[in-house]
Amino acid sequence: MKRLFVLLFLWCFLWNSAGAQQVQPLGVSGNKRFFQTADGKPFFWLGDTGWLLFVKCSREDVLKYLDTRQQQGFNVIQVMVLHTLAAKNVYGHYALQDGDISKPLTTPGSDFNDKAAYDFWDHVDFVIDEAAKRGIYMALVPVWGSAAKDDRVTKERAAVYAKFLAERYKGHSNIIWLNGGDIEGATRMDVWQTIGATIKKYDTAHLMTYHPRGRYSSTDWFHYEKWLDFNMFQSGHRTYAQDTSMKEKHRHGEDNWKYVVTDYNLKPAKPVLDGEPSYENIPYGLHDSLQPRWNAAEVRRYAYWSVFAGAAGFTYGENAVMQFNTMGDADANFGVYNNWKETIQSPGALQMQYLKSLMLSYGYFYRKPAQEIIADNTQKRYNYILATKGNDYAMAYTYTGRNFSVNTSRLGFKLSKAAWYSPIDGREQEISLKVKRGIVRFDPPGEPANGNDWVLILE
């Protein structure tokens, strides 16, 4: 019995010791369109914006958040390291000395019970390690765009800070770098170039991109930079009607799939994804709390539109969760009126897993955009159909559930069977095919309406 106890103890010790490194570093697939793990397995990026996780959450809250998102299928958390230069966590520990980005405040040891020895960066370490145990990658924004506008953030200080981050976290397998932070690359270009190049100099193991402001993409400034491994765009939180400035009028509005098409066709090829679409439960346009709120169906539309257009994944967001709001918080923003511990179970969050599951259920690395299979796809905006295909399958997404036709001669395979897939619950309904050649018309279940969305699967 004693020997059995010792063996069990050793097994538990070894399992827990290895727990913080259960994920493999990510890389880019051979065709430069997708992500894969170090052993070559496909990785579909299903992200969540947990922007203020490091500063708003206790250890207990961190575990609740990570456990929930893991259960819901999320595998990437996007988080700000420095939201402001005065960033401090719930334990009162500041990240920087006197707001100087070149002077991270670190203390010897990491004993959580010893307040003098447990600092801001130890808490960040804790979150990253706990995420790794759950197979979750941490996409870290070194310094948010608004903070980088501060005159104290010089490129010289940014270089010191970037080296600190790279050397501290290069040994963690679950790190992704998100340079920038809701800002145009032309604003503080010297800082972004310095952070990108410096991190890559000292940490060559992890992927990096740039998180831009709304209605922009990293390709607007950085596509050809050596430090940028994949592209990210922010389709943003405005409606078609809210794009009123001259800068935004030439952009794509809610048609986030158009950003994918633009970036997908650039050379050299790099993966691309929507890193910040409209958040569930946030007002249209962000700042007017009397506006309608983006709902789960609209978030699904952004997800399927962008992925079917060729994106390597998708990032979801929810208003209360992204700022970890508790009712009564003095720093609440964007008309938030919920507690994050409740809205973490919002419908859109629960439904994202079905997109990930669908994409990983079919041949992954040879999937590509396939708009050519949709016959007479001339309707615009919400009625537009997005399609994708592999060697022996094809899929088409309709947000409104309207009738549409497929040109089977362009599938690249002989049509054998078809089904409707529900983005709401992941269920399939088999379709009885009376015609399998030529132009075949399909009628989704239900009556046409925004949010009656379906995926047509052809094999």
Same domain as 117, residue 218: yes
For range 275-287, the mean pLDDT: 95
12 within a domain of the structure (yes/no): no
Structural domains in the chain (count): 2
Q: Give 233-262 pLDDT, tens digit per residue.
A: 999 999 888 887 656 655 788 999 999 999
- Nearest Cα neighbor of 180 from 189, 192, 169 is 192
Same domain as 401, residue 270: no
Last residue of a domain, one of 329, 360, 391: 360
Q: Are 305 and 254 in contact (CB under 8 A)?
A: no
For range 330-353, the mean pLDDT: 95
Is pLDDT above 60 for 406?
Answer: yes
β-bridge mates for residue 387, sequence order? 396
Q: Give 145-193 pLDDT, tens digit per residue.
A: 999 999 999 999 999 999 999 999 999 999 999 999 999 999 999 999 9
Longest dimension (CA), the chain: 77
Same domain as 374, residue 232: no
Is pLDDT above 50 for 22?
Answer: yes
162 within a domain of the structure (yes/no): yes
**Residue 395 belongs to a domain with what CATH number?**
2.60.40
Per-residue pLDDT, 19 = 43
DSSP secondary structure letters along 33-58: SSEEETTS-EE-EEEEE-TTHHHH--
Residues 6+ away with beta carbon under 8 Å from 4: none
Same domain as 335, residue 413: no
6 within a domain of the structure (yes/no): no
Higher pLDDT, 252 or 406: 406
In which band, very low, low, confident or very high, does the pLDDT at 115 lie, cut at 50, 70 and 90? Answer: low
Same domain as 443, residue 380: yes
400 within a domain of the structure (yes/no): yes
Last residue of a domain, one of 312, 340, 360: 360
Residues 6+ away with beta carbon under 8 Å from 227: 179, 196, 197, 199, 200, 208
Same domain as 269, residue 344: yes
Q: Give 356-383 pLDDT, tens digit per residue.
A: 999 999 999 999 999 999 998 888 899 9
Residues 6+ away with beta carbon under 8 Å from 42: 29, 34, 35, 36, 360, 364, 365
Same domain as 138, residue 280: yes
Same domain as 324, residue 409: no
For range 273-281, the mean pLDDT: 97
**Residue 7: both structure tokens together:** 């063996």
Same domain as 247, residue 377: no
Same domain as 322, residue 433: no
Is pLDDT above 60 for 8?
Answer: no
**Residue 297 belongs to a domain with what CATH number?**
3.20.20.80
Range of the domain at 173: 18-360
**Residue 395: both structure tokens together:** 């899929």
Per-residue pLDDT, 174 = 98
Per-residue pLDDT, 244 = 77
2 within a domain of the structure (yes/no): no
Long-range CB contact pairs, 286-294, < 8 A, 24+: 286/237, 286/238, 286/334, 287/334, 288/335, 289/334, 289/335, 293/319, 294/237
Last residue of a domain, one of 333, 360, 387: 360
In which band, very low, low, confident or very high, does the pLDDT at 329 lie, cut at 50, 70 and 90? Answer: confident
7 within a domain of the structure (yes/no): no
**Residue bearing tokens 């700042």:** 287
Return the SS3 of 152: coil
Same domain as 330, residue 449: no
The model carries a pTM of 0.93
Q: Give 376-402 pLDDT, tens digit per residue.
A: 888 889 999 999 999 999 999 999 999
In which band, very low, low, confident or very high, does the pLDDT at 208 lie, cut at 50, 70 and 90? Answer: very high
Same domain as 330, residue 379: no
Label residue 362 left, alpha or beta by phi (over 0 means left) and psi (-120 to 50 means alpha). beta
Q: Give 433-449 pLDDT, tens digit per residue.
A: 888 888 999 999 999 99
117 within a domain of the structure (yes/no): yes
Average pLDDT, rounded, for the chain: 92
Cα–Cα distance for residue pair 336/294, rounded to 1 Å: 12
300 within a domain of the structure (yes/no): yes
